[in-house]
Amino acid sequence: MKKHIMLYGAMGIFLVLFFAYTIWLGETHSYSMADDSQGKMSFVKGKVIEIAEERLSSDPSRPGGYVGEQDISVKILNGKHKGDIVSVTNYVSTTHHIQLKVNDAVMLGIDEESGSSYVFQYYRLTVIYVLIGLFVLMIIIIGRKKGLMTVAGLAFSVYVFVKFTLPLVYFGSSPIVIGILSVAIITTVSLVLLTGISKKTLSAIISTSLGVILSGVIYAVFSELLHVNGYNISESDAVLAVSSRYGLQVYNILYTGILIASLGAVMDVAMSVTSALYEMIGIKESIGRKELFTAGMNMGKDMIGTMTNTLILAFAGGSFVNLIIFASYNMSFVQLMTSDFIVIELLQGIACTAAVVLAVPISAWTASCMLVKK
């Protein structure tokens, strides 16, 4: 008990220092790539109170859609212009199909120098907050105490990614080092929140970390063989602009993405296998390491099938629109399979899936060694 109190205390101290560091990081670093003219733009929430005139016609390329102009009056709801009513011409096109109605919430872009305004987008935060709230509520209702801990772990994971991983990589730190540190921090805190401090938790942490790092190794080896890196991504021009200003290490930037992408699935497999073996020991205390390892492998085989499908289909789904575009070019199979986009997506998908597959023997071996003495 005393040892556990000390460990929880050490984790508490670490978290206090970690939060203090990330707060300092946020206050001393700015992501802005805007020049002086862009810096005079502000974006505010507004509500459409009147549509004075519409000049719209049917859009032949989008069934049920319209193109043209709307002269609207918008009441600004926040910022230094709160309460002001501005007149805006909303240009409706095939790609900017924001056809507004009275009482619609919108985001306005305001040029502080000239005072001109334009409709940037629908205001979507309210619906997003409702969606997130329903998601969190669902987890808590079904998971009860474990669900609450799951939400806490998820919130912490998002915090680490946004306040630690992203800024440090953005401002020139090694993507490899920061990626590994992020994985270690997220894994440790998330699993301790779920299961407390125990041999089972430590086994799952070690298994997850090893599995994720191996996915990074697979990516690193084959990215060299396939000649792909951060310079091959479609957004390379924007990334290079950030690199020239803040020192972003473009070459290894994809490495961090691989580690983060594989973390959730690997953590799931590692925790599932370890928990199952832990329960098995409670039922059969005389079980040996070899027998426990074999049992873990047998349990993991079903997980491999489902998780492999899950990850590959997730990557395929994320690339679906791009695949349609490639199909429209009538590219040959060789052209398609050697394009930067397909190679990067394929490598990411296989590296992440391989991490899940490797997590099964790693978890079974780690658990059998840590939970059984012989």
Q: Is 143 found in the same domain as 120?
A: no
pLDDT of 111: 86
Question: Is 335 a member of any domain?
Answer: yes
What is the greatest pairwise CA distance in the chain? 82
pLDDT of 119: 92
Q: Is 93 found in the same domain as 240?
A: no
Q: Is 194 found in the same domain as 149?
A: yes
Question: Is 30 a member of any domain?
Answer: no
Question: Is 9 a member of any domain?
Answer: no
Q: Is 276 found in the same domain as 344?
A: yes
Phi, psi torsion values for 234, nearest 5 degrees: -65, -25
pLDDT of 1: 64
Averages of pLDDT over each 10 residues, the chain, 374 residues: 78 92 87 58 91 90 87 91 90 88 92 86 94 96 91 94 93 92 93 87 92 90 90 84 88 89 89 88 80 87 80 80 83 85 88 90 90 71
Q: Is 184 found in the same domain as 68?
A: no
Q: How many structural domains is the chain composed of? A: 2
Instruction: Choose the final residue of a domain: 63, 91, 124.
Output: 124
Closest CA to 243 of 29, 24, 33: 33
CA atoms of 51 and 161, how far apart (whole Å)? 42
pLDDT of 45: 94
CA atoms of 8 and 240, how far apart (whole Å)? 43
Question: Is 291 a member of any domain?
Answer: yes
pLDDT of 36: 47
CATH of the domain at 83: 2.40.50.140
pLDDT of 35: 53
Sheet of 85-92, strands arranged across: 85-92, 66-76, 41-58, 105-111, 117-122
User: How large is the angle between the packed helices 253-283 and 289-318, nearest 10 degrees?
Assistant: 140
Question: Is 1 a member of any domain?
Answer: no
Q: Is 146 found in the same domain as 114?
A: no
Spatial contact of 186 and 263, defined as CB atoms under 8 Å apart: yes
Question: What is the chain's percent helix, strand, coil content, to nearest 5?
Answer: 65, 15, 20
354: containing domain:
139-371
232: buried, middle or exposed (CB in 10 Å: 19+, 13-18, 0-12)? middle
Q: Is 216 found in the same domain as 259?
A: yes
Question: Is 7 a member of any domain?
Answer: no
Write a three-state SS string for 115-163. CCEEEEEECCHHHHHHHHHHHHHHHHHHHHHHHHHHHHHHHHHHHHHHH
Question: Is 226 a member of any domain?
Answer: yes
Q: Is 218 found in the same domain as 98?
A: no
Question: Is 130 a member of any domain?
Answer: no
In Å, what is the CA distance from 58 to each residue of 52, 64, 99?
20, 7, 12
Instruction: Choose the final residue of a domain: 71, 96, 124.
Output: 124
Q: Is 239 found in the same domain as 264?
A: yes
Q: Is 82 found in the same domain as 159?
A: no
Phi, psi torsion values for 119, nearest 5 degrees: -80, 115
CATH of the domain at 195: 1.20.1640
CA atoms of 88 and 117, how far apart (whole Å)? 6
CA atoms of 270 and 300, how far apart (whole Å)? 9
Q: Is 70 found in the same domain as 167?
A: no
Instruction: Choose the final residue of a domain: 124, 155, 185.
Output: 124
pLDDT of 37: 47
Q: Is 144 found in the same domain as 99?
A: no
